[in-house]
Each structure stands twice: as structure tokens, then as C-alpha cells.
A and B are shown apart, each in its own frame.
Chain A
């Protein structure tokens, strides 16, 4: 029964994707849609194969800038989240500023970053970081702030310091929130890196797509989109696996209740 369940889970998305591509192909052929409007999947895969060298090259750049930005965001978000969750004064002071900063569209920041650091990978890394650290901060702070007061009483009655309570209860308790936010953050970091590349860069999938668009190479644009989708899924899956590995207790607990 478990194997059947597994088969359904693995096979269903694959079957659905293939079906989607087939319908797409059929529509393009039946209506004779011009290549410059909507290329058929066969054209896209053809472009993907033909231009595989530059595509792999640029994907690599996008991947590492995303990961670099994401790692910085993780470290920064964790530290800031603990700080914000630690004390109410810090929360009151920092939180509104964070919300304000987060509401600035990051596309608008990219030109400034390019001005400061020049065209290259650094603006992409920084955009990925800036766009993705906010959910981590919010989640870690929420996890810390929602520690049960009775549990805190148990520990305080033992003479536990604030630091003890954080170490023994607060931080382990907020780990599911933290890992949950990583799934959101990795997706955002990816968006940040690609956005930065499309505004101004000399490498990356975003840049490749921009160039292809300028040259009316629409199949390459779509090939770029396809690569982005695959990379996005891979990054999300990797983070979800890390989450399941470290906070299994949170999910098993729910499954048994």
C-alpha cells in the first residue's frame, strides 16, 4: 500500500507535466502559432539542446549567486530574528523598520547596487539576500515569542536565565518556523538573483533571457524560463528535505495527534 502511495506521489506530477506539454504542443501546431509569440515545447527543447553550453554556464552563475545570497540571508535572518525575539524593546524598535524596508520593491534597489558594486555577480547576491532575509527574521522571532509561559515558569522556577530558556526551549522550539521560512526564502532569493540579472548584469540566466529577447530568439527565452522552473523546484526540494531532517518531531507530532 505504501509503494502504491509512493508511486502516485512520484508519478502523478510527472504525468501531469507531460500532459501539459502535449496539450501545449498540440495547440501550437493546430493554430500554427508563430515562433515569436509562443514556441511549442519541441522548439523550446530544441533550443535548450542547441544552446546547452551558454545555458549551463549562465545557470551556474544564477545558482551560485542565489545560494550565496540565501546563505547570507540565513545567517543574518537567524541572528536578527533571535535579537528581535529576545526583547520587546528590540522588537518594537526594529520590526517597523524591517516592514518598511521589506515593502520597497527590490527591483528599485538593483540600480543602486550596480552603482556601488558595478555590473557583476555582487548586485545579484545582494539582491537575493535583501529579498529573502525578511521571512526568516519574522519566523524566528515568532517562534521565540510564542514560547508557552508555563514552560518558561517551570524553567524560571529552577533559576534558569533568559539565555538558558532561549537555549533549551526558545531556539529548538522555533526551529520548525525557521526551516519553514527557509523554503520561502530560497524561492525569494532565486527571484532576487534573476531580477537583478535582468536589470543589469553580464552573466546569469536573467541576462541570457534579456539578450535572447533583444535578438527575438523567443525559444531561448522560454528555454531560460524552463531552466528557472527546474532550478526553483530543485532548490525548494533541497530545503524541504533539510527541514524534514531537522524538525521531524514537529511533523510526526501532528501526524499522531
Chain B
């Protein structure tokens, strides 16, 4: 995959091979500009690869994957919709829900309400995005990415704009959500602690051209308590990954 044309083209990603098991939580970390986001756009089928092929579940990807849920650093909620209606948005688009949306609206609504409640937003379902805090907006955004039960949930630095405490709260919310629903998650982040705390496997990318330099199994048993981030073992993994990323100091 490359941006631009001819000699000026910037190769964003080169020879990347990832294997994700069903129900696995992987994290991709790397310095800024290493092509983490490009990788996500590739896998979701939003951007076609320049050379080579992309296969997801044995199928060649040529267009956007319908079984993907995405959330970004910016929650991108629609300001004219209440939280619950924002969560319902994918169901108005994805088949087969799209066809039955009007008929089963109440059923879908209670599903969305349950999802919002499971991330601690009971009582906020009828609020507009600007009535929610940044963390709540992000929770809503993740619910929106999950409502249509995608095969894979792609998160591009979803907690990047939050303060440290809210971020830790959301780590736990995401951890519980994933444990409960066994959803496959690909998390792109530059926060190593976040990656190690949440993921089963961490992939480290190098920059220009982006390639994967290390695959590291975390191996910390689940369920993980937030306390684990202060353990020596956890610190060692983070330290090891940090060493792989480099940069001037």
C-alpha cells in the first residue's frame, strides 16, 4: 500500500502478515506514522492493496467488509441523534437488519439499550452526544461498532483523546465487553500499557515502510485486574516492547 504517485510515493506498509484467531484480542503498536491506521483501512477493505492480496477468513477482500465494526479516536457521533439512535445507525445500513429495521425497531432498541447498559451508560441512552462526557461518547461509539455483531471490531486509538483515569475505566469496560461477547478485536494504539493490558497478542510495527518487527504473546492470564499493570511481569513486557520501537532519547 502506498500514498502518492511515482517517485514521490510513500510506501506506508510492506509485507505485513497477521493471523487473528476467532475471539482473539490483538493490538498493533508502533511509532506515529508507521502505518497502523493504514493497516486497519486495508483490513477493513476501505483501501485496496497496491500489490499482493488480502484475505480475511480465506476470502479475498476487494471492497469494504460488512462484518467489521470500527471506532476511532474521535467518537464521530451524529449530533442530531440521541445516544441510542447513534448506536442503532449500523442496523439501518447493514443487511439483513436493514430490511427488518422498521418492523423490529423495538427489538433492536432494547438490544441497543442492553449494550449501552453493559458499558455503564444506563440512564444516558436518550441523551444527545453533547450531553455526554468524552468517555461516555467513546463508549457509545464502541457500542455503535458492536451493535451489528461484527466478526471483527477495529479500534483506531479509541482512547487517545481521553484523560488517564477515564482511559483506564474504558480499558476495563472494553475488557469486560470482549470477555462477555468473545468478539475478535484489533486495537491500534501507541499506548503500550493499553496494548499489554488488553491484548492476547501484541504486534510491533516499525515505520516507513511499515512492517511488523515482532509478535509478542502477552500470556497474562484472564480475567485481568487493573492492578496487573503495576506488576513486575507487566512492566517487563512493556519495557521489552518499548525497546523495539526506538526513537531518540
Q: Enumerate chain A interface residues (CB-CB to B < 8 A).
A: 148, 150-151, 153-160, 164, 168-169, 172-173, 175, 247, 249-250, 252-253, 256-257
Contacts and interface: CB of A to CB of B under 8 A. Distances in A.
B120 interface: no
Contact of B76 (A151, A158, A168): A151
A155 B89 CA distance: 9
B94 interface: yes
A144 B203 CA distance: 38
A155 B90 CA distance: 7
B66 interface: yes
B70 A169 contact: no
B128 interface: yes
Contacts of A257: 130
A153 B70 CA distance: 8
Contacts of B94: 158-159
Interface of B: 41, 44-46, 64-66, 68-72, 74, 76, 78-80, 89-90, 92-95, 128-131, 144-145, 148, 154
A114 B213 CA distance: 76
A168 B77 CA distance: 12
A256 B90 contact: no
Contacts of B74: 148, 150
Given A154-B76, A253-B128, A256-B131, 12 more contacts: A151-B78, A153-B41, A157-B45, A157-B65, A159-B66, A160-B93, A164-B93, A168-B89, A172-B78, A172-B80, A175-B80, A250-B79
A234 to B, nearest CB: 28
A210 to B, nearest CB: 47
A244 to B, nearest CB: 14
30 contacts: A148-B76, A150-B72, A151-B78, A153-B41, A153-B70, A154-B72, A154-B145, A157-B44, A157-B45, A157-B68, A157-B70, A158-B93, A159-B94, A159-B95, A164-B93, A168-B78, A168-B92, A169-B78, A172-B78, A173-B78, A175-B80, A247-B80, A249-B79, A249-B80, A250-B80, A252-B128, A253-B79, A253-B129, A253-B130, A256-B130
B44 A249 contact: no
Contacts of A158: 64, 66, 68, 90, 93-94, 148
Query: Which 10 residue pairs of A and B lie closest in terms of their CB atoms, listed nearest first?
Result: A253-B130, A159-B66, A249-B80, A151-B76, A160-B93, A158-B93, A157-B44, A157-B68, A256-B130, A157-B70
A252 B130 contact: yes
Contacts of A160: 93
A249 B65 contact: no
B247 to A, nearest CB: 27
B47 to A, nearest CB: 10
A109 to B, nearest CB: 38
Contacts of B131: 256
A150 B41 CA distance: 11
A172 B77 CA distance: 13
A172 to B, nearest CB: 5
Given A157-B46, A157-B64, A252-B130, A168 B93 contact: yes
A159 B64 contact: yes
A154 B128 CA distance: 19
Contact of A159 (B80, B93, B129, B144): B93
Nearest to B128: A249
A252 B92 CA distance: 26
A256 B131 CA distance: 8
Contacts of A154: 70-72, 76, 144-145
